Amino acid sequence: MPDIDFTTTLSIHAPVHVVFEYCRDPRSIFAGDPTYKVNDATVTPEGVGTRGHLVARMLGLSEDVAIEYVEVVPDKRIVYEARPTVTIAGRKLGAEVFTWAWAFLPAAGGTELTLRVANRGGARWERALDALGTERVVTKQVRARLARIAAAVEGQAAQTAEQNPRLVAASVAGSRDPGGRRY
């Protein structure tokens, strides 16, 4: 039975804290997404319990996705679960939970953002879609989403650097590389 399970990594030229804070809000993660739109979102101060409701319309079907942040470790990790409901010809079909695990690591010049998306053992109709290449489509969407996140965060970092160069220098100076050494 096909499952979706893939990992992708992207280097972002911005401090870990800036990238992490951007990703704490589902509206930011899906900003500019051509397929998924955030209808509403509630961001909690601690991160866990943050929720979002996404909608998508494609190929004669609609998809409603409820997401909830289930693990948040500041400046290190965000895990959220996505529970999609697909409507095909007026019939609602629930799907298995997708787990999205985001890891934020300091890297030379910024952040290494790694995202793992996994879904195990979906319903029969869902497995049939997976066999037709769902993972390939989702992987492409995720890579494009990460590129939009990088562009937005790098744009914010560049703007901050122009406005306050000392703030950016202090943020990078306080960062550590994956081996725990300070930059």
pLDDT tens digits, one per residue of 57-85: 877 778 899 999 999 999 999 999 999 88
Render pLDDT for 23-32 as a digit per residue (tens, 0 to 9).
999 999 999 9
Q: Can you tell me the distance from the alpha carbon of 179 to that of 160, in angstroms, rounded to the nearest whole number? A: 27
Pair 83, 64: CB distance under 8 Å: no
DSSP string, 36-66: EEEEEEE--TTSTT-EEEEEEEETTEEEEEE
Q: ∠ CA(11), CA(77), CA(57), 5° rounding? A: 75
Task: Give the other-Cβ count within 10 Å of 86's Cβ.
Answer: 19
What is the reported pLDDT for 4?
A: 77
User: 23 is in which domain, residue-wise?
Assistant: 4-173
Q: What's the whole-model pTM score?
A: 0.77
Structural domains of the chain, count: 1
Beta bridge pairs of residue 176: 182
CA torsion sign for 165, 160, 43, 81 is negative
Q: Can you tell me the distance from the alpha carbon of 84 to that of 68, in angstroms, rounded to the nearest whole number? A: 12
Q: Can you tell me the distance from the alpha carbon of 122 to that of 32, in angstroms, rounded to the nearest whole number? A: 28
Render pLDDT for 102-136 as a digit per residue (tens, 0 to 9).
999 999 889 999 999 988 666 555 555 555 556 67
Residue 181 lies in a domain: no
Q: Can you tell me the distance from the alpha carbon of 113 to that of 115, in angstroms, rounded to the nearest whole number? A: 7
Residue 139 lies in a domain: yes
Residue 10 lies in a domain: yes
Residue 9, SS3 per DSSP:
strand
Q: Tell me, what CATH number does 52's domain have?
A: 3.30.530.20
Please, which pLDDT band fits residue 157 given cuts at 50, 70 and 90?
A: low
Residue 75 lies in a domain: yes
